[in-house]
Structure 1
């Protein structure tokens, strides 16, 4: 993603679960054990006037959750990174937000549907956030962290009282009917994942010095940085209160590994030695923009993982991490420590 680096400072043999490719139905309506819902409050519903004057972004998300599960479930929030705001190969469509008539926002947030489905099958409610407007306005870590917090606050009000901005706005994507999430979310067990520059966003949001920005009643229990360029150095991103996991892409950059440094920081690091950046997001893998596709810095390297292998690795690793961090499940530790390798993918794993 060479253009992206100039723009910002900046399934699957390995899977433990058979994951349906993004966008493909795995069962007839109503029989799929994983339900998919969404909400959309509009392209200009989010602002952060504290230090982002004039910037607007959307409040839009897709939710994967276990259809039959009862009681409050742990929640995983997914945040994509910098990308074109509008889904078009025509550069004339890239210079405005909202997007021009007839051009839809880039669906970066749907690039993790494969993760949402797999984690939901494990009993998590997975919320993937859209941040295309934020990308257009070049929002940085504080805006990304506060975008997550805005969604968490709306979800908190919805699950505790049934009210707030999301009341009646969460709909099933198969039936189109409203979904009742009251009492379904345990926001004292929240995990986050930030891909690319989204990694700095989730680290900012969970940082020791920024806990006061979290909505009341929300507790972050584990944080994942996925193929991130690493901290910009302008913001507090030091997380010591909960475990973190850092996944780096060796053929793209190792900057995110800096999150694993510092006194009190603990968790796991996985270096995919020949991995790239885009393959973790299925939308970025296919295009249409100039920063999409195989963005590796070592195209001639032999033995590089395919997109399907990297996505399977992400499924396996994140299932293990969130099971450990949110549920206290230690059965995935061999995956996190490297004792159980990923078939066909060269990695280096450490626990710190």
Structure 2
């Protein structure tokens, strides 16, 4: 069953904003996708001088209609940057042999930026194509941005979250200029996501920068929390307002001494985490709860049973065949088909790659429909009164409306 069938009644209306998607058919809208890249060295990190690219994949309704559409910006987390299979094999072998000098040398090739000549970059932003397509079918414009330069950088902790927030703001500034004036760095930059051929898309006056949602996976989750924090709203580009924040298996710097850098008090926020996540612990939920504790906006958590960390990104998932894709859940030969948090002894059925993404997309889409379009028909799902994905797995839901 598709998320469209689960979530789309005959009409997707909104009581909150004239910028909400207009009523689609049951199957949703026809969608299209383009990419853009302004270079692998588009700018340098102020702290270190290391290069960062400005590149993204955009999904949008093929018919943009007449009213501006809500914008969702997605940001991936920390993952290898370069598809060097020789280096990946060498790293695996070095790890088995406990040759840590060789391990480090191979790892540096996988985490370099820009990638060596002839080595393909890993398109970590394309790992959310399934989500971009679903949101676009429901009327949103979705920009999934690439952060390989930050992944390859020496920044960690709060500095890494801050750099990701800055990257988001740089992309938002480009979109604000393009929508408002039809000018700026994105003019002439779009290419067909399938063929790579240039494509002209007239986004002028079609993107509602006053109605933005952000989605961050893994360290991207820390980035969107930092970007939306009250302490950092002054850094948003002029004409931009973030109205909803989704942290997907967020990897926070839990040793931070300054929680004010992450505090979100007036913006609805949600967190998703799998019970078999091998990279992010339960602090993903508690940290976000602390960050919103003094707020007045809605806060939701969705804990997906049998879900790991990597399956939410198709490029990080084994079925993709991509370099460095793997199943991070904890496994034991005595529990075939089951998973646990690494180091834990409580096993349960592991959700498939497709199943994990269907559940994630359903809750993410419901969240943005509620807080970017005002569609209250998804409330029962967001509060846990209804569990439309129960045929796939159990989802523990908590919610607060302060």
Q: Which TM-score tier does this pair reach, normalised by the shorter chain?
A: 0.7 to 0.9
| Equivalence for 2:39 | 42
Is 1:15 the counterpart of 2:3? The answer is: yes
337-346 vs 136-145, which moves further = 337-346
- Distance across 1 between alignment mates of 2:169 and 2:190: 18
Is 1:184 the counterpart of 2:206? The answer is: yes
Q: CA deviation at 1:57?
A: 1.1
| Equivalence for 1:172 | 192
199-208 vs 261-270, which moves further = 261-270
Query: SS where residue 49 of structure 2 aligns?
Result: coil
Matches within 5 A, 1:84-233: 84-91=80-87, 92=106, 93-94=109-110, 96-139=112-155, 140-173=160-193, 176-233=198-255
Count of residues paired in the alignment: 325
Q: CA deviation at 1:339?
A: 1.9
Q: CA deviation at 1:216?
A: 0.4
Equivalent of residue 242 in structure 1, options 253, 256, 267? 267
Q: Structure 1 stretches of 5 or more lacking a match? A: 1-12, 20-31
- Distance across 1 between alignment mates of 2:355 and 2:223: 26
TM normalised by structure 1 equals 0.87
Query: SS where residue 60 of structure 2 aligns?
Result: strand
Query: SS where residue 200 of structure 1 aligns?
Result: helix
| Equivalence for 2:79 | 83
Deviation digits for residues 206-247 of structure 1, max 9, x if unmatched?
Answer: 001000110001000000010123343436111111110100
Q: Structure 2 stretches of 5 or more lacking a match? A: 8-28, 88-105, 336-346
| Contact 1:61–1:130 under 8 Å retained in 2 | yes
| Equivalence for 2:59 | 64
- Distance across 1 between alignment mates of 2:397 and 2:244: 18
- Distance across 1 between alignment mates of 2:184 and 2:148: 23
Q: CA deviation at 1:302?
A: 3.5
Matches within 5 A, 1:301-316: 301-316=347-362
| Contact 2:306–2:350 under 8 Å retained in 1 | yes
| Contact 2:219–2:252 under 8 Å retained in 1 | yes
Rate the CA distance shift 1:188–1:336 in 2: closer, same or farther, 3 A.
same
Is 1:281 the counterpart of 2:313? The answer is: yes
Q: CA deviation at 1:251?
A: 1.4
Deviation digits for residues 297-352 of structure 1, max 9, x if unmatched?
Answer: 35533412111111001111111100011011111112211222222212210112
- Distance across 2 between alignment mates of 1:288 and 1:255: 29
Equivalent of residue 53 in structure 1, options 35, 48, 51? 48
- Distance across 2 between alignment mates of 1:183 and 1:14: 31
| Equivalence for 2:326 | 293
Q: CA deviation at 1:87?
A: 1.7
- Distance across 2 between alignment mates of 1:106 and 1:259: 29
Q: CA deviation at 1:289?
A: 4.0
Query: Alpha carbon RMSD of aligned pairs, Å?
Result: 1.9
Rate the CA distance shift 1:328–1:136 in 2: closer, same or farther, 3 A.
same
- Distance across 2 between alignment mates of 1:116 and 1:213: 26
The structure with more radius of gyration: 2
Q: CA deviation at 1:37?
A: 1.0
Q: CA deviation at 1:288?
A: 3.8
| Contact 1:89–1:288 under 8 Å retained in 2 | no
Rate the CA distance shift 1:219–1:130 in 2: closer, same or farther, 3 A.
same
Rate the CA distance shift 1:14–1:165 in 2: closer, same or farther, 3 A.
closer
Query: SS where residue 51 of structure 2 aligns?
Result: coil
Rate the CA distance shift 1:54–1:268 in 2: closer, same or farther, 3 A.
same
